[in-house]
Amino acid sequence: MFEELVGKSCRLCPRECGADRSIHRGLCKTGNTLKIASFNIHHGEEPPISGKRGSGTIFFVGCNMSCIYCQNYPISQLVKPKREVSIEELANIMIRLQKRGAHNINLVTPSHFVHLIVESIEIARNRGLTIPIVYNTSSYDKEEVVLTLKEYVDVYLADLKYVDGELSKKLSGVENYFEVASRALLAMYKTKGKLTLEGGIARKGLIVRHLVLPNALENTRKALEWIKYNLDGATVSVMFQYFPAYKALNHPSIGRKVNLDEYLYVCELIDKLELNGFIQQI
């Protein structure tokens, strides 16, 4: 399937830019070879992902979205720093992280390289990789790709950024975000189900993240309600870590952090909807 989606006219992600990535970069800002920014043990994820020993994170450069407030913009938008790795080298990195004690392999922003990553996972598993694969994504993923990943991904750490198409267009450059992400999330839940833990560590399932933005409480309300009524029982992680970075500095609506009133409103909403999961403190 991946050969058909990439080939000489890339349709791997929902943007379907048609680039021949063997010659020039697509809208994801990358070509057809794996490029990473870094890999290491990371302790800043949700408790079932980080645990005590940390998550083995691999940060891929580029992104199929263009969020003007991206906190990782040097990696995602400017594509710096970068290191090209082969499929086999990526597999070796996974094994190295496992040997260092990581609870899982955490693939951060993998969507535009997924056709290559699955090959690395196969090689790594043949060489003894046993820890879960975490797919850390914006959820701007094709439903058919998610369904194909059933045998490769164990845990989805997936965003639901927007329900409001006008907001997603203005802030992230894609107006069909919710249409795409909602289908992707349903496919993730269908294939992996509720979060399953062993010793407090995620082994399988879905965690849905939502980043609260300033002056966007209606978007947050709709997002959390959609999760409640469409992914009932899913683990939710509501994040308040937003700060104006990249092009959001001095922006008229998102040029500040979330304030206390917004925080309290969202906490009350979470309680009202009886959502299960994690709330990041302001």
pLDDT tens digit sequence for 226-274: 999 999 899 999 999 999 999 999 999 999 999 999 999 999 999 999 9
Is residue 194 pLDDT above 80, yes or no?
Answer: yes
Structure token pair of residue 237: 């992680």
* CA proximity to 187, closest of 9, 54, 14: 14
Per-residue confidence band for 41, with pLDDT thresholds at 50, 70 and 90: very high
Is residue 1 pLDDT above 80, yes or no?
Answer: no
Mind listing the pLDDT tens digit for each residue in 63-90?
Answer: 999 999 999 999 999 998 889 999 999 9
Question: Could you tell me which residues come within 8 angstroms of residue 275 by beta carbon, excluding any fewer than 6 positions away?
Answer: 224, 227, 228, 236, 238
What 3-state class would DSSP assign to 56?
A: strand
| CA dist list (Å): 261 to 3, 140, 158, 258, 268 | 49, 30, 26, 8, 11
Q: Output the pLDDT for position 151.
A: 97
* CA proximity to 159, closest of 173, 190, 180: 180
What's the length of the chain?
282
Note the maximum CA span of the chain: 52
Q: Output the pLDDT for position 264.
A: 97
Find the angle CA(18)-CA(23)-CA(26) to the nearest 5 degrees. 40
Average pLDDT over residues 209-231: 98
Is residue 35 pLDDT above 80, yes or no?
Answer: yes
Average pLDDT over residues 162-177: 97
| CA dist list (Å): 185 to 145, 182, 188, 206 | 12, 5, 5, 9
The whole-chain average pLDDT of the chain stands at 97
Instruction: Enter the pTM of the model.
Output: 0.97
Mind listing the pLDDT tens digit for each residue in 99-144?
Answer: 999 999 999 999 999 999 999 999 999 999 999 999 999 999 999 9
Report domain extents, the chain: 2-208
Q: Is 1.10.3720.10 the CATH number for 2-208?
A: no
Is residue 150 pLDDT above 90, yes or no?
Answer: yes
